[in-house]
Amino acid sequence: MLALLLACTPPDTTPGPSTHVDSEVEIDSEVEPVESRADSEPPEDSDPPEVTEETVPDQDVSDDWIFDDGVIHEIELTLDTTATDGLVTAPHTYVSGSVVIDGYELEEVGVRIRGKIGSLRPLSGKPKFKIDLNQFVDDQRFFGIETLSLNAGGVVDCSYVKENLAYELFEAADVAASRTGYTHVTVNGEDYGLYVIIETPDDRLLDRTKENPSGNLYDGKYVWYGGYSYTLLDFGLGVDTLYQLEEGTDVGHADIMAVSTALNTYKGQPSFYSELDKLVDWDQFHRFEAVEQWVGQNDGYAMNRNNYRVYFDPDDGKMEFVPWDFDYSFLYDYQWGRSWRAPTGLLAYWCMQDAACYSERRQASIDIVDIATDLDLVAKHDAMVALIADSVAADPRRECSVDSVVAEQARVRAWLQARNAFMGAFWGF
């Protein structure tokens, strides 16, 4: 069983329990193909498109081959002494390095460490990484990709499969969700083991998932000040300006503030659902929350006001949720002293108190059970476990023993088999 995060007091009087925290290719002309490692070549049906000088400027080249859970890619990071020292002293600040991805080299990319209170690991361990390809070179991309997020398998998530499974269900539920894959990582030739590749929520994801991708995308992760000092972000708490604009146009957080004002005005009122419907895409929110519950996301919006983005559709102005980070998923609410009957996230909490909102949330759960049944996540789980078995055993930096990995994978598999029945019992269908 995964260890629990620190129990902390939320920075307001919202109904609910105490709070846990965690966190946290088209090719540019600078890209030079180098010899690929034989053990990292993707199978024939996952080969990258042939890259020529003529295709280099085209950002519409397919990147599907990168996000393929049936392949283990190879990522080699090279950092000079200044860069490695920088990641030791200021791990969240980008340093310059080079990266080779399945044989294609990009120079002067930005590299930083991800994670905060619960998942931050030093460079000497097995940290999460973020690679920003155009941090230092304008418009440098890899098959159209601007950034890649690498999650450290075998650290918080002993199973190595939670991220992949969770995003699969979100995508099937028509919620904008990141794609995933696997990669073996080295840093300056040192083996860092098996990582999960996560598609970073940015303009590329919006282009792929939204009819109109020109809206505002905000990051809802908590603001960390170091140590155990932080601020969780939610609507109606007076922290609207702390949401970080990731994509779109700076409107002074007017869109976030409108949601907060409406929530504070109408929460607990008969008109709550209809008034918030002017600003929130309730259908999308219900699907988002139904999947969060199905995958036991204890560190997401509903349970912890963490690990989410919000997107404002420019056509109707309504807010939609985008999921992120499932290290602490496939967990029961009571394991963190929580309850899906009384979520911590304010929109989720007040929805559960409103008869109309509750009814639609229940229907979304019925729909998600049907979707999960058709998706056959058990088969996907088994295929990934078979693919990564040797890499897991050889991973020199994992914090989980092989026995722990096997046990956690078995526990996740049992969850997949039983969760539909649990959801039916919870919602009474």
Phi, psi of 8 (to 5 degrees): -130, 160
Say how many Å lie between the first and final Cα of the chain, rounded.
29
Output the CA–CA distances (angstroms, integers) from residue 80 to 2, 87, 173, 184, 200, in the order listed.
35, 11, 44, 20, 25
Q: Tell me the three state secondary structure of residue 354.
A: coil
**Mean per-residue pLDDT, 98-112:** 95
Instruction: Give dist(CA 353, CA 299) in Å, integer.
Output: 22
- Is the overall model pTM greater than 0.85, yes or no? yes
In 158-253, where does DSSP find H-type helix? 162-172, 203-209
Q: Which of 38-42, 99-103, 245-249, 307-311 has the lowest mean pLDDT?
A: 38-42
Give the pLDDT confidence of 197-252 residue by residue, as tens digits: 999 999 999 999 999 999 999 999 999 998 889 999 999 999 999 999 999 999 99
For residue 323, how far is the Cα from the chain centroid?
A: 6
Domain boundaries, the chain: 32-209, 216-370
Using the predicted structure, report yes or no on whether residue 11 has a pLDDT greater than 50: no
Q: How large is the average pLDDT for residues 357-370?
A: 98
What are the angstrom distances between the C-alpha of 214 and each of 280, 309, 314? 17, 15, 7
Q: Which residues of 112-135 are buried (b: 16+ CB within 10 A; e: fewer)?
A: bbbbbbbbbbebeebbbbbbbbbb
> pLDDT confidence of 43, banded at 50, 70, 90?
very low
pLDDT of residue 37: 31
97-101, 139-143, 287-291, 365-369 — which is least confidently predicted? 139-143
Question: What's the mean pLDDT in 397-413?
Answer: 98
* CA distances, 102 to each of 48, 180, 221 (Å): 9, 16, 31
